[in-house]
Chains A and B, each alone.
Chain A
Amino acid sequence: MSKEEVLEKLRRSFLSYDEEATRKAAAEALAAGVDPLEAVSVLTETIRELGEKFSKMEIFLPDLMLAADAMRAGLTVLKPELMKRKAETRTLGKILIGVVKGDIHDIGKTILVTMLEAEGFEVIDLGKDVPIRKFVEEAQTHNPDIIAASALMTTTRPEQRGLIEYLKHLGFRDKYKVMVGGGAVTSQYAEEIGADGYGENAPEAVEVAKKLISK
């Protein structure tokens, strides 16, 4: 198979959201002597296209989640080879994200995670019901560019304020950009608590994240 054919097979395997097929196609690409950076580009460009389709509702959240799983599968094969060659994959930035303590409504966060990944961000997803201390400890471990905290309920959004205050107290506030969002949050509230960014919905939050990274 030519290089183009190998990469096309990788793309098609990925578009079928099949983890095993994507892993296999990535391995075949390496075996055929394809530059791992090129193979990674196929995956990132394709998932970006999927992200655009999702924002037009041409595909749906599970498709994007399945694609993200398939992408991770492909990267497990490609990344060690990249490291051997000391090549670096480019990401738009690293985001640590979670739903605040007391809140288990994570559908909005799940959309944002998949859309951010599709855009090329590296995302560390802490899940739901995440205490402030956990956000901070994980931030110290992963050193993200942005910490993003979501809250759906009026009674859980004070945790976002608490997170910002905690970071300030520890002297880490300037180290990370903080984004907030969720059904109970407004731009007014985000400003009031001193957040750096706010997205009313997932597509807007992605754009805000891009802007924050480029600052």
Chain B
Amino acid sequence: MSRSRVWELWRRAETGPLCPEREFDLKRFYPAVKRLVKEYDITYDPETVIPTDNTLIDDVFKAGIDLLTEVGVLCPDTEKIIQLEEREVKESLATLSGEMTVGEGKDACLLKHRKMEDHEPARVFAGPSGNPISEEMAIPIYQSCAQEPTVDLLMYGTPTTIAGMVSKDGSPMEMYAEVANVRWLREAARRAGRPGMFIIGSGAVGVAPAILASLVENGYRKTDGIQLAGLPQLKIPYFELCKAEFCIEYGCRGWVTSPAYIGGLPGGPEAAAVTEVAECIAANLVFRTPWVCVDIHDLLYPPGTSRRDVMSMVNLVTAALAKHTKLIVSTLCDRVYAGCCTDMAFYEFAVAALGAAVAGGDPMSGCCREGRYTDYVTGMEGRCTGEIAKSVTGMRRVDANDIAKAILAKYEDRLPPKGKPPIGKEFRECYNPKTVTPNKEYVELYGKIKKELEDMGISYKF
């Protein structure tokens, strides 16, 4: 996008129609999304976890575009609306190449826009996904993810302490923690024999730490990426636009997550799907990046992402973007309810990986215990996600849907509030942190689950 176009969007954030946030939410956004869901007759069928109805996929996409062009994007700092015209949206999508190289040297990775039932294998993220990790376990955790052969991209965590001090927003500890964090990521990739591996970071910190961590020696490279985020719903704050501006000037990749909440401001699952399409298209236009992430949560039981309605809507949005754009789409079903080293966590990651890969996205394995607890992440979840995502290339959606439902049946009764997911183990309880290898119990459990999934219809290539 040309600089003049960027300036034009900033200008709109300053001079667009004034709209206080609550008015934007309740009087502008909510009635519009409610009406569009009705107009397009979009309905959620709990039996469809991976979408098979192409008309539904088309309608969700069209409704998302209508929503974005009707409602616009609110800049919460100025409480002004950045209005977007359909022509601008279409132009922005039409200029996408559908390809992007990340990482460097022998570890460079070509990310490609994927289609539904694509025969090209998905690219797989692994790592704590912004969730808490201890400084003691940071390198072994990152290494456990980076050394998995089916993992392509390494995702950051957030250190809870640095040099024993609490890493707190806006403090020098946060600045230093971010610098340390990127060096831990880099060291972990090096120890895994992948020194040029793509790293994404700086999502859960302020603008200054993100910039500092890129400018220091062994910091984020121009071949790495920074996480950018919108706020629910259809809101983009200035500090995130500052990070986006840094990405452009520095030359690194911006990767955007803008979550939609089922039961939240959009309404039901269908409305959350329409909203998330709009969020992803807005991200492309306003953040100027071809790389977006489909991110949907259940409002009452966040941040876990493995509920049926959440996954179904993530897959529907992924399919809509896969069919109608050339965006590079990743999916953020990355926070499971169960702890590491449990059957339930493997099932939860398995459905997410299967759905994302078949719907046309790149899946991400993230944290166990919803990312609330420190060090509940290991490379084994990356292995589970990667091996499935790369094995189901070309699988028909209808077949994948049957498998997804069979896996869901293995754990849905254990989801909160009625069920109690197993706590499992944290990293140091199921990995040897010195050798960075999973213990026997964990390996055997994975083998058992893999066999079960094979019996359900996944033909593993690994």
Contact flag A111-B264 (CB < 8 Å), given A62-B26, A184-B132: yes
Query: Could you tell me the distance between the alpha carbons of A108 and B204 in the complex, rounded to whole angstroms?
Result: 17
For A, the interface residue count at a CB cutoff of 8 angstroms equals: 33
* Inter-subunit contact B372/A155 (CB<8 Å): no
Interface presence of B216 (CB below 8 A): no
* Inter-subunit contact A60/B169 (CB<8 Å): no
Encode contact with A along B250-278: 1 for CB under 8 Å, 0 otherwise: 00000000000111111110000000000
Cβ-closest chain B residue relative to A115: B300
Contact flag A66-B26 (CB < 8 Å), given A60-B263, A154-B131: yes
Query: Could you tell me the distance between the alpha carbons of A69 and B300 in the complex, rounded to whole angstroms?
Result: 21
Cβ-closest chain A residue relative to B29: A62
Contact flag A103-B299 (CB < 8 Å), given A57-B263, A62-B267: no
Interface presence of B110 (CB below 8 A): no
Chain B residues in 8 Å Cβ range of A156: 168-169
Interface presence of A203 (CB below 8 A): yes
* Inter-subunit contact A105/B231 (CB<8 Å): yes
Interface presence of A183 (CB below 8 A): yes
Query: Could you tell me the distance between the alpha carbons of A57 and B44 in the complex, rounded to whole angstroms?
Result: 14
Interface presence of B166 (CB below 8 A): yes
* Inter-subunit contact A155/B167 (CB<8 Å): yes
For B, the interface residue count at a CB cutoff of 8 angstroms equals: 39
* Inter-subunit contact A60/B300 (CB<8 Å): no
Interface presence of A23 (CB below 8 A): no
Q: B170 is contacted by which of A61, A102, A202 (Cβ under 8 Å)?
A: A102
Encode contact with B along A178-212: 1 for CB under 8 Å, 0 otherwise: 00000111101000000000001111000000000
Query: Could you tell me the distance between the alpha carbons of A98 and B350 in the complex, rounded to whole angstroms?
Result: 37
Query: Could you tell me the distance between the alpha carbons of A153 and B166 in the complex, rounded to whole angstroms?
Result: 13
Chain A residues in 8 Å Cβ range of B422: none
Query: Could you tell me the distance between the alpha carbons of A60 and B298 in the complex, rounded to whole angstroms?
Result: 11
Chain B residues in 8 Å Cβ range of A188: 373
* Inter-subunit contact A62/B168 (CB<8 Å): no
Interface presence of B237 (CB below 8 A): yes
Chain A residues in 8 Å Cβ range of B52: none
Chain A residues in 8 Å Cβ range of B306: none
Query: Could you tell me the distance between the alpha carbons of A63 and B267 in the complex, rounded to whole angstroms?
Result: 9
* Inter-subunit contact B132/A154 (CB<8 Å): yes
Chain A residues in 8 Å Cβ range of B391: none
* Inter-subunit contact B25/A62 (CB<8 Å): yes
| Smallest CB separation, B348 vs chain A (Å) | 18
Contact flag A201-B265 (CB < 8 Å), given A62-B30, A158-B166, A184-B132: no
| Smallest CB separation, B426 vs chain A (Å) | 12
Chain A residues in 8 Å Cβ range of B372: 183-186
* Inter-subunit contact B174/A155 (CB<8 Å): yes
Query: Could you tell me the distance between the alpha carbons of A153 and B177 in the complex, rounded to whole angstroms?
Result: 14
Chain B residues in 8 Å Cβ range of A105: 231
| Smallest CB separation, A43 vs chain B (Å) | 19
Chain A residues in 8 Å Cβ range of B266: 60
Chain A residues in 8 Å Cβ range of B160: 154
* Inter-subunit contact B268/A60 (CB<8 Å): yes
8 A Cβ contacts from A25-63 to B: 54-55, 57, 60-62
Contact flag A103-B231 (CB < 8 Å), given A62-B267, A184-B132, A201-B301: no
Additional pairs, 18, CB under 8 Å, beyond known A57-B262, A101-B169, A107-B261: A57-B263, A60-B266, A61-B265, A62-B265, A103-B169, A105-B231, A107-B299, A111-B299, A111-B300, A153-B169, A154-B204, A155-B158, A155-B174, A158-B168, A159-B168, A183-B302, A186-B373, A203-B417
What are 24 pairs between A and B in contact, CB < 8 Å? A55-B300, A57-B263, A57-B300, A60-B266, A61-B261, A61-B263, A61-B264, A62-B30, A62-B267, A69-B26, A102-B206, A104-B237, A107-B261, A107-B265, A107-B299, A111-B300, A154-B132, A154-B158, A155-B167, A155-B205, A183-B302, A183-B371, A185-B372, A200-B416
List the 7 closest pairs (A to B, CB-CB), nearest first. Answer: A102-B169, A62-B30, A154-B158, A155-B169, A158-B168, A60-B267, A154-B132
